Amino acid sequence: MEQKKIKAALLGLGTVGGGVYKLIQRRKDEMEQIIGTQLEIVKIMVHNLDKKREGIALSLLTDNWQEIIEDEEIEIIIEVIGGIEPAKTMILEALHAGKHVVTANKDLIAQQGRELLNAAEESGADFLFEASVAGGIPIIRPLKQCLAANELTDVVGIVNGTTNYILTKMFEENVSFESALVKAKELGYAEADPTADIEGLDAGRKVAIMASIAFHTRVVFEDVHTEGITKITEKDVAYAKDLDCVIKLLGVAHDTKEGIEVGVYPMILKKEHPLASVRDSFNAVFVHGDAVDDAMFYGRGAGEFPTASAVVGDVIDVARDIQYECTGRISCTCYKDTPIKKFEEVKNKFFLRMQVKNQPGVLACIAQIFGNHKVSIVRVVQKYVEETQAELVIVTDKVKEGYMKNALKELEDLEDIYEVSSVIRAYL
């Protein structure tokens, strides 16, 4: 075991990069105890050299990638720039050069994971990305190692803090989606352009990564059907409460006999489910395996230090592997090639809220259409009735998405139905 100092370079000095640098500084002595040698950030790559950065020695900064990639003493590259390029090129160059890479880049892993992991495997390098899913929550390592003896069949997670904060506000303070979003922006939970969060794209990337690891089959972002929470109304919230349920934006991945199902959509779920009590901007990932049964991992899915916690945890592991000369020890675990199910084939339960003509025979007509499309109704609630109009809520049994789509299309053409106001999937 060599006792030489291990040198690392940090790519990016935004929120997460700053957190990583500070955390490594703060835990210097402890890390030496854990790893058995010192770990030092010797270069930080930034876009703008002139920007003032408190507590960072100017000599560390560079805007020249060559300075880093050509420095043979730098063994670990910590990529926290985010996005596809230039991160991808840099990571590939680093791996080809035999350097080890730790990244928090979910966009990249969810789209180009295979290429990156192959590059790592070819050069026997460590390539770790714990921070790419659910921020500080340990999930990649538990899936890859602790639960390795399991056939995992279900991974269901609240993996976007912004939308969970919004839904929590809507539930606990009876406010609309719009005003909850305003509040989320005020608190810095939502970005100026919140599309990636509220439309489920961010969650979709994380689900792709988790599904790949859990089911040993490469799942990419494009495989994930994504829907957001913008259509959830205060009335939906009220009905969910009546059903002793909450509404959560869930990233859902199931390994079924007919293939892998992956999606992100708001779902109604029972208050007793462990995911139901995950409040505010917290994240949680619920897992089911044939041996472990149900398990859940809960914590902060974003933020400077929670994300840095995961990044630096990975860095410590890489340093340990360097010390023990066993880098590449945990590599790609996608040794299967299970097909991804077409979304129309995925089965879900549904909560449907619709405005219908208040006259006899309407429900019979709706039931007839559902019957024709193989949709079983398990519950009907009619709560608000005006002279000419009634609001009907229908909860269905599991049915293929394709069938439901066709049934809804036919319903919408019906004269007696003014509007299908909400279509929310149910995890009951």
Q: Is residue 389 at the binding interface for a second copy, with CB under 8 A as the rule?
A: no
Q: Is 15 annotated as a binding residue?
A: yes
Check the annotation: does 313 bind a ligand.
no
335: contact with a second copy by CB under 8 A: yes
Closer to a second copy by CB, 31 or 155: give it: 31
**159 contributes a contact to a second copy by CB under 8 A:** no
Residue 301 annotated in ligand binding:
no
Cβ proximity to a second copy: between 148 and 385 the closer is 148
14 is in an annotated binding site: yes
The reply to whether 305 sits near a second copy by the rule CB under 8 A is yes
Positions 94 through 153 that interact with a second copy (CB under 8 A): 130, 136-138, 141-142, 145-151
60 vs 44: CA distance, rounded Å: 6
State the SS3 of the chain: CCCCCEEEEEECCCHHHHHHHHHHHHCHHHHHHHHCCCEEEEEEECCCCCCCCCCCCHHHEECCHHHHHCCCCEEEEEECCCCCCCHHHHHHHHHHCCCEEEECCHHHHHHHHHHHHHHHHHHCCCEECHHHCCCCCCCHHHHHHHCCCCCEEEEEEECCHHHHHHHHHHHHHCCCHHHHHHHHHHCCCCCCCCHHHHCCHHHHHHHHHHHHHHHCCCCCHHHCEECCCCCCCHHHHHHHHHCCEEEEEEEEEEEECCEEEEEEEEEEEECCCHHHHCCCCEEEEEEEECCCEEEEEEEECCCHHHHHHHHHHHHHHHHHHHHCCCCCCCCCCCCCCCCECCHHHCEEEEEEEEEEECCCCHHHHHHHHHHHCCCCEEEEEEEEECCCEEEEEEEECCEEHHHHHHHHHHHHCCCCEEEEEEEEEEEC
5 in catalytic set:
no
Is residue 279 part of the contact set for a second copy (CB under 8 A)?
A: yes
Nearer residue to a second copy within complex by CB, 113 or 301: 301
- Give the binding range for a second copy (CB under 8 A) out of 201-209, 306-314, 372-380, 384-392: 306-314
Region near a second copy per CB under 8 A, out of 63-71, 173-181, 318-326, 367-375 = 318-326
Q: Which of these segments, 59-67, 296-304, 337-345, 370-378, binds a second copy (CB under 8 A)?
A: 296-304
Closest CB 130 distance from a second copy, rounded Å: 6
> Does 31 contact a second copy by CB under 8 A?
yes
Establish whether 191 is an annotated binding residue: yes
Considering only residues 200 to 219 of the shown chain, the ones binding a second copy according to CB under 8 A are 216
The piece of 51-59, 189-197, 269-277, 392-400 that touches a second copy (CB under 8 A) is 269-277
Question: 43, 88, 169, 206: which one is catalytic?
Answer: 206
Annotated binding-site residue numbers for NADPH:
106
Residues that bind a second copy (CB under 8 A): 19, 23-24, 27, 30-31, 33-34, 130, 136-138, 141-142, 145-151, 216, 272, 274, 276-279, 282, 284, 289-300, 303, 305-306, 308-313, 315-317, 320-321, 324-326, 328-330, 333, 335
List, by residue number, the catalytic residues: 206
